[in-house]
Structure 1
């Protein structure tokens, strides 16, 4: 990534708070990250870590939540932008692929009509031109017999083909930013690999900036250039993908890596999990959100345990562009657990069909 290029998407101190009957819930807490053209940022974490809320806030789909901070897309501030202006940007400059395509596609319209509608709305194209563009996009994402299948309805497609339709719909207006929110969760491993390869190919061909939202580090290993690990609505670690797999600095990241099945594990090796439960966002901890589950904090001297429990860690650079929010970061010689994978290729092979 050239040092002199500006990021396409720059997020600074993004905070998203929902008002509930039990009190305010800060689902995203002072989050900052960048995504450059032609690169994929994998945003990873357990359920409830704030990944999807982050993506919805970027798109302006936060549904009444209070959003503060800064979200700049190609020099334009999105926080506070009127809905009319945001709707012009959605689909044209930024687009999103959701987890469940069947619930995102309208059952009463053919897939060709739905893709063409996006093109007509943003470009004012005629119906014939928009339909031709929709057919071209279906062909580009690998739908066989695209002219015929454009006249089919969503329920007539398999899960993998519906996801291809969603990708075609997202990219029909050639946006600069694509957000993919768990796009392969409901798919079997073979179809998952095909969808990930499709997104990677389209990203490279179009120089897209891609945010890949996932709980699966195996997906991150296959497609991402950079990784943002989230926990409790906060950033825990950010680094290039090779650095995260070679030398994770946050104990939570190490726990996620240890949870992955490995090709070199014996057949009877039990699946691992990060001990404990995610934190309550109604009553956030004053210190490190991960401290109650952290093996490093539990084994530390009393002074360090108190610091972890009561002082929120700030993001600090460990080396190069590798940053971590941890009072007791791991080093190559101190990382507990199984021998770490030296390169994400070890995980890519393990998650390939």
Structure 2
């Protein structure tokens, strides 16, 4: 059987916002693919461009200039009229946002809000859409779904609201699910339940998933491939096992070093990455991570100058791409 190719393909995506102090390029020449039925984890510090990327894929930026290419099953989305995008959002691609309480309307029951998605995309009658909503709530593990469909968002716990958001995203059975920090405000037990739910639904439906998070533990649990972003750019991309076993970019290594480990002595402090993320108003001409990079700091004068003045382009072995002048493909994390 011929390879169907990626479901989602992003090439040279850039997102620029106008500000009073000048343009800010929040995403800069980003490229990645998401094959059918696979999960891509996108990680990085706050401000690295993860959520901006997801909104660009969904076509939800209103003030930003979006350039490059985003294709879903070969169909170009950048520049597509809103009317055509609206037919794809929810039906072919859906998104779970960070804060379910602010994403749900307080004046409507959760059943009405889930049913509305089905009515809009399939033209179903209210009664049929409500039955589909009840089935969707049951599918995501909400007990007594018929009764709870008549309740309001404030009557649900944080974990149950996130389940409602998943039901709303999947009620029309899309091909692509983008989950933007879906477990951020949840305790670890509920986090595990939500991640297991997404994994089960992916297996049952053959979903492609983009999981956006700053939690490397989440990535290790659910992702097949990992994209590490820094300063709006791709720092490293690799299969999850390869990235955790042999991180090539010093930023990826720094993220892994900052994680607590069960085998560390109690008196060993976590190793934080020094410095702060770069200002996108005044982007550096070279590597965005150079001011915080231990390899640049300990290199020769010529190596430091190269890091500070020449932008590294993604390269390296097939399947493990790194935007670093001096990548370290050998050696394991910690």
Normalised by the length of structure 1, the TM-score is 0.93
Q: Displacement, 1:3? A: 8.7
Question: For residue 161 of structure 1, what is the aligned residue in structure 2?
Answer: 160
Map of 1:63-74 to 2, 5 A cutoff?
63-74=62-73
Which residue of structure 2 aligns with residue 185 of structure 1? 184
- Name the SS for the 1:27 alignment partner: strand
Distance 1:5 1:242 in 2: 24
Q: CA offsets, 1:259-281, max 9 Å, x none?
A: 11111112233233211100000
Deviation at 1:240, TM superposition (A): 0.3
1:17-74 C-alpha deviation (Å, 9 max, x unpaired): 0000000000000000000111000000000000000000000111210000000001
Q: Which residue of 1 aligns with 2:54?
A: 55
SS state at 1:316 partner? coil
Which residue pairs with 1:301 in the alignment? 300
> Following the alignment from structure 2 to structure 1, what is the Cα–Cα distance between the partners of residues 222 and 146?
30
1:284-307 Cα deviation digits (max 9, x unpaired): 010100000000011011111111
Residue matched to 1:325? 323
Contact 2:118 2:172 in 1 (8 A): yes
Query: Which residue of structure 1 aligns with residue 195 of structure 2?
Result: 196
Distance, in Å, in 2 between the alignment partners of 1:45 and 1:90 is 26
Which whole-Å CA distance do the structure 1 matches of 2:146 and 2:16 have between them? 45
> Given that residues 257 and 270 in structure 2 are in contact (C-alpha distance below 8 angstroms), is that contact kept between their aligned partners in structure 1?
no
Looking at structure 2, the residues matched to 243 and 5 of structure 1 have their Cα atoms a distance apart, in angstroms, of 25
Distance 1:183 1:136 in 2: 22
TM-score of the pair, normalised by structure 2: 0.98
**Residues 48 and 231 in structure 2, CA contact (< 8 A), matched pair in contact too:** yes
Q: Name the counterpart of 2:40.
A: 41
- Could you tell me how far apart the structure 1 residues matched to 2:254 and 2:196 are? 27
Show structure 1 runs of 5+ residues with no match.
341-353
Pairwise CA RMSD of aligned residues?
A: 1.1
Shift of 1:109: 0.5
SS of the residue corresponding to residue 23 of structure 2 reads strand
Report 1:220-235 matches (<5 A).
220-235=219-234
Greater CA deviation, 129-138 or 260-269?
260-269
C-alpha separation between the residues in 2 aligned to 1:331 and 1:147? 53
Q: Structure 2 stretches of 5 or more lacking a match? A: none
Where has structure 1 moved over 3 Å in runs of 4 or more?
none
**CA–CA separation in structure 1 for the residues paired with 2:156 and 2:106:** 11
Structure 2 CA distance for aligned equivalents of residues 5 and 109 of structure 1: 41
